């Protein structure tokens, strides 16, 4: 009952000072809106990275020769020749958590068709490759295991290669091309994938049996990498451990020795890239939080002025029976109401801004429920925190002095 | 036997100003009975304001006894004093002290907002009745800026009546008003007094005292005179004798 009365008194004071209240709220409104918008941008970019990487095959596991090149001064992975076909066979035979696996050899070269030529990269793989990378065929068919064994000179090409070496729009399937000096029969065209998150053209590729590429083009007996696919996304981390153990045994590494290879799942890649965007989000939110803090200080400021301005009123309220606690509650409720209303308007503005950013700037955004809850809670706490000091000041006034205050 | 509303015995109030001790009240004793209309007079520095603050439970004596409606005020906490002010005393100030941009009825309701025993319907009813008693039944929703000084003071009087206090305490209540309006207000006070309401009126204007039935004169913190007024003037009659205003 009493609290309800105090609530009425506080709302009355707010309504009587509409303009001032709105101006006070502005800081909170902008603060909350920017926190929500910034978090939405951060979440959005994180999600878009995740989607792109998942599209590359979220179960994918890559095994590269050479230890983790994040360490200091080691040779780059490409020059290390410690990954062999035997390793591949061993993993294929023993790893139970992998559903697909392919050796990968790759090299750059010129794709030539008559007078058209185009610099591209050739990947030597086995038929599992399409399943691992989650690529479909636009036309034609994949080569078979038999063709791999016989090192057939057959190839599949990506759309970028098609556009550049078959500019006349002829169907490339069944045509002959040359990669460097080796002739290949085009047996299929890969479905268009576009650029990946890192700006790499995923359609600028030639795919051929790894045996062919190894022997006829690169003339090497080692592998550049092994790609595999875990049974499921959840099994990927376990599969990484399994592969690591198999390879350590295969390479006869002592416990004291570091791995001479690197096994990574997509999950790790995702977290690497997410951490960058997370950093950015934290930065954005930090800036937005500062504006929320300033909004809070704005409330304190106005409440402080309000207490000074209404000293006589406070004196009167005390004279007619208002207790110190009543006065405290009145001003506290006022501050909380201002900040919560501001917070509510801020949420609306923030959501509006997010829609605007998505629609007109084409940035990926995603509003997380927690961002609304958190910024709203921060608002309420701000109201209590910054309303407390002036309210305390008001309640501690001496009624006699307050009544005589001019 | 009439009931004693206020009992004061050997009341002292001292202030410390730096190294000096100021004796604002030096041992005052008197009591006020139910239904009395008392004026407390004195020039500035007489201890009048200090007396008013103590009577209004806004301040506490240094020593001595102060009882209001049988309650000993000394050594009560701030909150207990607030409750006494809310339930026992009706305040009226020189400058009205109404809440700006707030209607007459809401101003009158104010003391009851701090009394959780009163429901919102009862609060409204009592506020309307109080405003009717002071002759403002038609102006419930006017804000102070839409009312004259005399009307504003009437709202303040209604506010002081709304909690059914044992005593109304007026501080220079006519100080801001012209003679005609002061008489109107004094006539209202006399009428309320006739209905049995105890009034203590602190003032420095001698003619106000002629409308009350008892006068206490303070000087330098002591009582100079305390006399019954056997020839109480009627403020309404005085008002009728004032030259007519042609407006």
pLDDT band at A363 (very low <50, low <70, confident <90, very high): confident
Which residue of chain A comes nearest to B114, CA vs CA?
Answer: A322
Q: How far apart are CA A399 and CA A186, in angstroms?
A: 96
Please judge whether A403 and B159 are an interchain contact, meaning their C-beta atoms are less than 8 angstroms apart: no
Q: What is the mean pLDDT of residues A273-291?
A: 81
pLDDT, tens only, B18-65: 889 999 999 999 999 999 999 999 988 898 989 999 999 999 999 999
Each residue's pLDDT tens digit, B120-140:
999 999 999 999 999 999 999
Count residue pairs from A and B with Cβ separation < 8 A: 67
Query: Hey, what are A294's tokens?
Result: 């300033």
Q: Name the residue with higher pLDDT: A198 or A215.
A: A215
Pairing of the two strands A176-179 and A98-113: antiparallel
> Using only C-alpha atoms, what is the Rg of chain B?
18
Q: Do B101 and A16 touch (CB under 8 A)?
A: yes
Residue B165: predicted pLDDT: 93
Q: Do B114 and A323 touch (CB under 8 A)?
A: yes
User: Which residues of chain B make contact with A319, given a CB cutoff of 8 A?
Assistant: 56, 58, 85, 91, 97
Give residue for tokens 């791999």.
A148
- The predicted-structure confidence for A79-125, as pLDDT tens digits, reads as follows 577 888 899 999 999 988 899 999 999 999 999 988 888 999 999 99
The pLDDT value given to residue A316: 93
Q: Kindly determine whether residue B79 and residue A2, on different chains, have CB atoms separated by under 8 Å.
A: no
At A226 the pLDDT is 92
Are B117 and A362 contacting, i.e. CB atoms less than 8 angstroms apart?
Answer: no
Query: A259-280, pLDDT tens digit by residue?
Result: 888 888 877 777 777 777 788 8
Cα–Cα distance, A134 to A129 (Å, whole number): 8
The residue extents of the domains of chain B are 35-62+77-232
Distance from CA of A8 to the nearest CA of B (A): 9
Measured between CB atoms, which of A326, A399, A400 is closest to B114? Answer: A326
Please report the pLDDT score of residue B192 as a whole number.
92
Question: Looking at beta carbons, which residues of chain A come within 8 Å of B115?
Answer: 321
CB within 8 A of A219, min separation 6: which ones?
none
Give the rounded distance of the alpha carbon of A365 from its chain centre.
11
Residue A384 pLDDT: 87
Q: Which residues of A touch B93 (CB under 8 A)?
A: 316, 403
Say whether B114 and A12 touch across the interface (CB within 8 A): no
Q: Is residue B74 very low, low, confident or very high in pLDDT (cuts 50, 70, 90)?
A: confident
Confidence of residue B150 (pLDDT cuts 50, 70, 90): very high
Taking contacts as CB-CB distances below 8 angstroms, the residues of chain B near A324 are 78-79, 82
The model's pLDDT over B184-207, given as tens digits with 9 standing for 90+, comes to 999 999 999 999 999 999 998 888
Testing the interface with A: which of B44, B59, B99, B109 to mutate, by most A Cβ within 10 A? B99
pLDDT band at A77 (very low <50, low <70, confident <90, very high): very low
For residue A316, what is the nearest residue in chain B, using CA coordinates? B97
Give B-chain residues touching A317 at CB under 8 angstroms.
Answer: 110, 114
A323·B82 Cβ contact <8 A: yes
Question: CATH number for the B35-62+77-232 domain, one of 2.30.30.100, 3.40.50.300, 3.30.300.100, 3.50.50.60?
Answer: 3.40.50.300
Give CA torsion, residues A7, A12, A18, A21, to 10 deg: -30
pTM for the whole structure = 0.72
Listed as own residue / partner, the contacts of A237-244 with beta carbons closer than 8 Å and 24 or more positions apart are A237/A265, A237/A267, A238/A97, A239/A61, A239/A95, A239/A97, A239/A98, A239/A265, A240/A61, A240/A264, A240/A265, A242/A94, A242/A95, A242/A96, A242/A97, A242/A98, A243/A61, A243/A63, A243/A91, A243/A95, A243/A98
How high is the pLDDT of residue B245? 66
Sign of CA dihedral B130, B131, B137, B140: negative
CB contacts, 8 Å: B113 with chain A: 5-6, 8-9
User: Residue A50: is its pLDDT beyond 80?
Assistant: no
Nearest to A318 among B82, B99, B113 (CB): B82
CA distance B26 to chain A (A): 21
On average, the pLDDT of chain B sits at 91
Which CA distances in Å does B5 have to B2, B71, B160, B189, B199?
9, 10, 17, 18, 11
A51-65: pLDDT as tens digits: 777 776 778 888 988
Predicted confidence at residue A198, as pLDDT, reads 65
Tell me the residues of chain B between 117 and 176 that have a Cβ less than 8 Å away from chain A.
Answer: 119, 159, 163
* Of A2, A315, A400, Cβ closest to residue B59: A400
CB A120 within 8 A of CB A108: yes
Nearest-CB residue to A313 (from B86, B99, B116): B99
Question: Across all residues in chain A, what is the average pLDDT?
Answer: 86
CB-CB neighbors (< 8 A) of A5 in chain B = 113-114, 116
For residue A174, how many C-alpha atoms fall within 13 Å in the half-sphere facing its CB? Answer: 3
Phi, psi of A240 (to 5 degrees): -60, -45
List B14's β-bridge partners, or say none.
B23
Give the chain B residue nearest A310 (alpha carbons): B99
| Contacts with B58 from chain A: Cβ below 8 Å | 319, 399-400, 403
Instruction: Give the residue on B whose Cα is nearest the Cα of A399.
Output: B58
- Give the lowest-confidence range in A145-154, A262-271, A324-333, B160-169: A262-271
Q: How far is A306 from chain B (nearest CA, A)?
A: 14
Taking CB atoms and an 8 Å limit, are A324 and B79 in contact across chains? yes
Residues of B in contact with A403 (CB under 8 A): 58, 93, 97
State how far residue B134 is from chain A, nearest Cα, in angstroms. 19
Residue of B34, B162, B218 lying closest to A321 (CA atoms): B162
Residue A189, pLDDT above cutoff 90:
yes
CB-CB neighbors (< 8 A) of A12 in chain B = 102, 106
Whole-number percent of chain A with pLDDT over 70: 95
Residue B9 pLDDT > 90: yes
Among positive and negative, which fits the CA dihedral A53, A55, A58, A63? negative
Q: What is the DSSP letter of A222?
A: B
* Centroid of chain to Cα B166: 11
Q: Which residue of B has its CA nearest to A6?
A: B113
Quick check: B53 contacting A, CB < 8 Å?
A: yes
- Which residues from A are below 8 Å from B56, CB to CB? 319
Using a CB-CB distance cutoff of 8 angstroms, which residues of chain A are in contact with residue B101? 16
d(CA A351, CA A364): 14
**Residue A102 CB contacts under 8 Å (≥ 6 apart), including other chains:** A125, A126, A127, A128, A129, A132, A210, A226, A227, A228
- Tokens at A177, concatenated: 């091309």
The answer to whether the Cβ–Cβ distance between A9 and B113 falls below 8 Å is yes
Return all residues near A123 (Cβ < 8 A) that are at least 6 apart.
A104, A105, A106, A129, A205, A206, A207, A208, A213
Confidence of residue A75 (pLDDT cuts 50, 70, 90): very low
Q: To probe the interface with A, which of B48, B56, B58 has the most A CB atoms within 10 Å?
A: B58
Which chain A residues contact residue B86 at CB under 8 A?
320-322
pLDDT for res A79: 59
């Amino acid at each position: 009952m009493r609290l309800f009365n105090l609530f009425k008194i506080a709302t009355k004071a707010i309504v009587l000072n509409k303009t001032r209240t709105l101006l006070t709220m502005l800081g909170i409104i902008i603060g909350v809106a920017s926190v929500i918008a910034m978090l939405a941008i951060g979440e959005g970019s994180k999600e878009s990275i995740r989607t792109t990487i998942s599209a590359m095959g979220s179960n994918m596991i890559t095994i590269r020769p050479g230890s983790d090149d994040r360490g200091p001064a080691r040779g780059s992975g490409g020059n290390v020749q410690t990954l062999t076909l035997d390793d591949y066979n061993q993993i294929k035979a023993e790893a139970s958590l992998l559903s697909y696996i392919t050796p990968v050899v790759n090299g750059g070269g010129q794709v030539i068709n008559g007078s058209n030529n185009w610099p591209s990269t050739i990947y030597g793989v086995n038929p599992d490759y399409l399943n691992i990378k989650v690529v479909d065929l636009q036309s034609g068919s994949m080569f078979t295991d038999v063709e791999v064994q016989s090192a057939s000179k057959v190839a599949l090409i990506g759309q970028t290669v098609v556009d550049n070496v078959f500019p006349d729009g002829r169907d490339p399937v069944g045509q002959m091309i040359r990669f460097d000096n080796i002739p290949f029969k085009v047996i299929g065209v890969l479905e268009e994938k576009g650029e990946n998150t890192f700006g790499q053209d995923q359609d600028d590729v030639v795919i051929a049996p790894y045996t062919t590429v190894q022997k006829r083009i690169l003339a090497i007996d080692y592998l550049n990498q092994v790609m595999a696919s875990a049974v499921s996304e959840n099994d990927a981390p376990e599969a990484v451990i399994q592969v690591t153990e198999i390879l350590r045994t295969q390479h006869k590494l002592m416990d004291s020795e570091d791995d001479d290879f690197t096994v990574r799942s997509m999950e790790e890649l995702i977290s690497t890239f997410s951490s960058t965007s997370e950093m950015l989000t934290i930065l954005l939110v930090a800036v937005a939080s500062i504006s929320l803090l300033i909004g809070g200080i704005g409330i304190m400021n106005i409440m402080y002025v309000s207490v000074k301005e209404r000293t006589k009123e406070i004196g009167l309220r005390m004279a007619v029976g208002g207790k110190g606690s009543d006065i405290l509650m009145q001003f506290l409720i006022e501050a909380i109401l201002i900040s919560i209303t501001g917070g509510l308007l801020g949420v609306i503005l923030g959501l509006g801004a997010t829609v605007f950013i998505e629609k007109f700037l084409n940035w990926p955004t995603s509003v997380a429920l927690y961002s609304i809850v958190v910024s709203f809670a921060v608002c309420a706490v701000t109201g209590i925190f910054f309303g407390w000091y002036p309210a305390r000041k008001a309640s501690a006034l001496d009624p006699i002095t307050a009544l005589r205050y001019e | 036997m009439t009931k004693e509303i206020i009992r004061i015995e050997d009341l002292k109030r001292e202030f410390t100003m730096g190294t000096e001790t100021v004796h604002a009240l030096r041992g005052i004793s008197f009591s006020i009975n139910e239904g009395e209309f008392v004026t407390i007079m004195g020039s500035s520095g007489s201890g009048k304001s200090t007396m008013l603050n103590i009577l209004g439970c806004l301040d506490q004596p240094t020593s001595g006894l102060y009882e209001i409606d049988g309650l000993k005020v000394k050594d009560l906490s701030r909150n207990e004093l607030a409750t006494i002010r809310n339930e026992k005393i009706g305040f009226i100030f020189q400058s009205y002290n109404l809440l700006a941009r707030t209607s007459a009825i809401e101003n009158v309701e104010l003391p009851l907002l701090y009394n959780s025993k009163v429901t919102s319907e009862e609060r409204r009813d009592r506020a309307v009745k109080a405003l009717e008693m002071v002759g403002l039944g038609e102006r419930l929703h006017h804000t102070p800026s839409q009312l004259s000084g005399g009307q504003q003071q009437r709202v303040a009087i209604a506010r002081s009546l709304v909690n059914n206090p044992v005593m109304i305490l007026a501080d220079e209540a006519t100080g801001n008003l012209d003679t005609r309006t002061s008489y109107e207000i004094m006539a209202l006070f006399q009428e309320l007094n006739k209905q049995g309401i105890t009034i203590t009126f602190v003032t420095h204007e001698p003619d106000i005292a002629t409308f009350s039935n008892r006068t206490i004169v303070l000087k330098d913190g002591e009582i100079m005179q305390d006399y019954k007024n056997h020839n109480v003037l009627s403020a309404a009659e005085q008002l009728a004798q004032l030259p007519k205003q042609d407006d």
